Structure 1
Amino acid sequence: MASFDIDGDLIRKLADLLRETGLNEIEFAEGEKRIRVTRGAPAAAAAVHLAPAAPAAPIAAAAGAKPAQHPGAVTSPMVGTAYLAPEPGGTPFVRVGDQVKAGQTLLIIEAMKVMNPIKAPRGGTLTEVAIADAQPVEFGEVLMVIE
């Protein structure tokens, strides 16, 4: 295992991000360095796992997520909390069966207190919404499917 200096500030920032988003795990990779911060039970302190990064290793999506290889899969470009409507209790941006246009807003992901609109990469019919409103999402996780 390659050794490298541990950046305590980075680990604290990642742990804070876990608390803010309600996620249980986050991973940061830069070159050959990889830092994964996980948390268990709420009373447990965050655990830090250090390992060398595998070359071109994809970050695994959440367990049970649909394969991102589906040609119409819209995947999360970031870690955060997904919202299907512009405001709590509001009308969702899109619903299953809706015709969507390329560039149309499908949902928003809140990451680090910033609301990021996720737009349709192509036009078609929305056939599946794979997440719930206000659900934490991981990078690469399938959010919706457009056919």
Structure 2
Amino acid sequence: MPAVKRSERISRRRLPFDIEAIRRLIELLVEHKVGEFEYSQGDVRIRIVQQGNPARHLPESVPSWFLPWLTSAASAPTPPSVPATPAPTSVPEPVTAEKPAPAPPPERSEAETPLHYIRSPIVGTFYRSPSPDAPPFVEVGSRVRKGQTVCIIEAMKIMNEIQSDVDGEVVAIYVENGTPVEYGAQLMAIRPTPAVEE
């Protein structure tokens, strides 16, 4: 009997899902920044986890438009049941098509200054301090100067200092210490210090 390659054996066997559909599903999940997706039917289970992103999970009930991607049209399953919720006691008023007059733009205060986001320039592991027993470089509320180190991204055993490229105040830190991050992941937000006119 001639030797059969593994890929030929797989292609001869009927798979319960379409590989091309899985590729399209992954593209869709990445596009919508979904951190984790899981689907199962019978003994087939598909789990897709995007590493390094704050997980944005899909609800327990999978939307029906996902299902044709995962199974053939002939055997489209029903989505998992959703826990029953009590029916509303009153019917909401219908929404009219009238648009309210636009409000005048509010005056900008310091609290409304657009935020500047520090993003990971590489794939690696995020660290808030230079060593486990050292204090973090910055905390929420810390004032930073342009060029000041705000965190470290370790990649291939090399510690890369990430510096602020604006003066301002740290208003959010999005990543936990020791968490893997991807290229372009938001690490923290800084409210830039308004320029002083002389």
TM-score scaled to structure 1, two decimals?
0.53
Corresponding residue number in structure 1 for 2:189? 145
- Relative distance call for 1:129 and 1:63 in structure 2 (3 A) is closer
**2:53 is matched by which residue type in structure 1?**
A
**Structure 2 residue corresponding to 1:62, chosen from 53, 60, 74:** 53
Equivalents in 2 of 1:93, 1:99: separation in Å? Answer: 11
**Structure 1 residue corresponding to 2:172, chosen from 112, 125, 128:** 128
Tell me which protein shows more helix as a share of its residues: 2
Equivalents in 2 of 1:64, 1:132: separation in Å? Answer: 12
Q: Aligned residues, how many?
A: 84
Equivalents in 2 of 1:127, 1:97: separation in Å? Answer: 6
Equivalents in 2 of 1:114, 1:89: separation in Å? Answer: 19
Structure 1: 5+ residue runs without aligned partners?
Answer: 1-60
Alignment root-mean-square deviation, CA: 2.0
**1:85 is matched by which residue type in structure 2?**
S
Shift of 1:89: 2.7
**2:118 is matched by which residue type in structure 1?**
V
Corresponding residue number in structure 2 for 1:83? 127
Structure with max Cα Rg: 2
Corresponding residue number in structure 2 for 1:114? 158
Equivalents in 1 of 2:190, 2:54: separation in Å? Answer: 21
SS of the residue aligned with 2:177?
Answer: coil
Tell me which protein shows more strand as a share of its residues: 1
Structure 2: 5+ residue runs without aligned partners?
Answer: 1-51, 57-113, 192-198
Shift of 1:90: 1.6
TM-score scaled to structure 2, two decimals?
0.40
